[in-house]
Structure 1
Amino acid sequence: MTLQRARDLDETDPLYPFRDRFLPADEKLVAYLDGNSLGRPPRAALDRLEALVREDWGGRLIRGWSDGWTELPTRLGDRLGEVVLGAAPGQVVLGESTSVWLYKLLRAALALRPGRREIVTDRHNFPTDRYLVEGIAEELGCRIRWVETELDAGPSVAQVAEVVGPDTAVVTLSQVDYWSAQIADLPAITRLAHEAGALVVWDLCHSAGSIPLSLDADEVDFAVGCTYKFLCGGPGSPAFAYVRRELADEVRQPIWGWFGRKDLFEMGPGYEPADGVRRLLSGTPPVVGLAGVEAGVELIAEAGMPRIREKAVALTEFAVELFDEWLAPLGFALGSPRDPAVRGGHVTIRRADARELSAVLIEAGVLIDFRAPDGIRLGLSPLTTGFEELYRAMEVIRDRAR
């Protein structure tokens, strides 16, 4: 493996020019391999935020709500659905954190399956997902059916089939495993849940902006996801929720707030939910945060999800090649699938001293994630990660690990 090969890959990469559309990082940084946790800031986000503060907020003041802020959660939701999620208009809304959306949708799904008392999720799902399931189960007296998975894999169709049954109300899983990057078979698991009479709530945090999605075609019931990873919306930027059109007017979410009420500015007595997906809203939407999301979504639209996925595969394949040549002889194990068809946008490498080594790598200018007990995640964001950048990062890992 040569440095020249990495440079050649950058030279022929149609997405390489997008790197200049992002604000520069610290000059001492060797590589940023953490875009699957926090995407880099688009230059357009800075422009949009400055315009929001100076013109919309500063100039229009309270009139901003009638100028478009009130509709921003659903207008931007429609755009996100079109560009990233494979969802027709009227099914996506933004405005809460992923945790709050997941709580709302799990409660809403359970309410649509009265008499069923089981929630299915996997043992190694993202911690918030597991904690929310445990809390809701305690709150409502439900039973959790755990899918027993390996840490370096993800839930398979067969494993889910073992625990789904006539008392299952909801199946909730992550499409891309946060630890291993394994891609679950979303269409098959969704069909399996439906055949059992259950609903599905998918977590798309590591999918959105990384792999093409077709939520409508796959007949997904509910989905949530964050916008600060591959969508580059900024730290803590508002998450999204998707509700299948056929369910939108049936849903009764548990946090009743004025922004989810029909005729919200009437301030009337009692709670009458708005029509459609807007009824998922509760409080005042975070307009400043949504402005950053808008910039990221438009970059994704310009690049196109097929090209983004193609580069994600190429980057992870390059990382695995370097792993085999440089790191496997040093006692590392691969914590992600070798088959790129079932691998998302990051690669996890494993070694017993990963926690200590992660601190060394960050100090050396390679920003990565440590994930207990022994994983180092290499987050490869197609719009911002270059092949030479990845090559130099793997050199540092090799040299520091010796």
Structure 2
Amino acid sequence: MTRTLVFVLLITCSGLGLAQDCALPKPKGNLATYSQLLSIQRLDGCFGGENDDSEIAGSIRKSKDAVGKLEEEVLTAEDYAALRNQAAQALMELAKSLKREEDSATDEWKQRIRLVAARLESAASQTALPDNQIFNAEEWKPDSGLAVLDGELRVGEPVDEDCKAGYTDACKSAQRSAGAILRHSLLANDMLGEVVRVARIVPKYRDLKVLDDKWTYYFEHGHSQYPWELFVNQAIFSRSNDCSKSDDDAGRSSIGSNANCFASPPNGQIILFHLDAAPEYAGSRNDEGSEFNAVALVEVIGYKWLKYAGDGSSGRTYGGSLIATVSPESSGKRVGWGAMVHLTEKFSVGIARRDLGRDGDETTWLVSADLGKLLDMTSLQERLDFRKLARTNP
């Protein structure tokens, strides 16, 4: 369908008045150029805006409204894929519609129309691919000089050039072609902008799910934490998490900007005066058999690293601590000193030196299962409070 854009300039006795009319004929006198009138029409919503009653504008508005209704929904990855497809279909519809404008265009304007239509098709293809970013919406928004495609194509100056000889058929054709390019570019900008606005957090949907799984892993598979350990780790995390960095910091792994940020859990834990119990083994000595004792164990200071799997559902932990062992009953010294290695999330192996009353210090071996896990010392509320440190509100 070919629509003719006509230009009207209203002049009052007090000066120049430009009406909000999308059917304006040629300017009168030297009060305005043709490109200036195109700019006025664009600002008045004549190209893809509220005053555009073209068929393609109505169709794209319906698609845009359908996307906008999802604003308050909790979108899944499948919903996001559907949004991308809807945007891609709208872009293809725009490309086909613009190509139909070639019938009334001159050869030079046909080239311009084909360039924009090809870019619309390319944008549709890229938008449909799930791993690609949504095509840049701002690229389609005309600037003050009526240039689209990030300034690559200008339509205002060619219109003025084609209208130098007056309001001829060539001038009218240039106006129609320029208006068509502006209309389809602005509609592409509106459609893509709406999809990006509604789905701003959806591209991160899977990342957020992984992030939640990582936090679950941190509390359920990391080292158990007594209140004082939790306090220390919280204090460190509150100053060093991703959301506490500026937006320009390199290496940031959080989701979102500082105004609305979700940070990853810590990659490690400080171990401080961590109380536990362990069986203690000492080998034969001075014709005396081996010994097994139950001892209290204190991890005086230590650190445990956590490495998370890509999907956040699993991981690996390892670390070490300096330890003190305390035996409630001993014919030698009750306190021993040593080190412990955390090989897995469940078991740790330690070695210590203690006088068992068999002629001097002996090497003892210990195995710990982090009994604090059985006590479930970190409450749900404490976990939530910890996670809030990784979330800054807008």
The answer to whether TM tops 0.5 is: no
| Structure holding more helix per residue | 1
TM-score, with length taken from structure 2: 0.20
The one of the two structures with greater contact order (alpha-carbon pairs below 8 A, sep at least 6) is: 1
The structure richer in strand per residue is: 2
Please, what TM-score do these two structures have when normalized by structure 1? 0.20
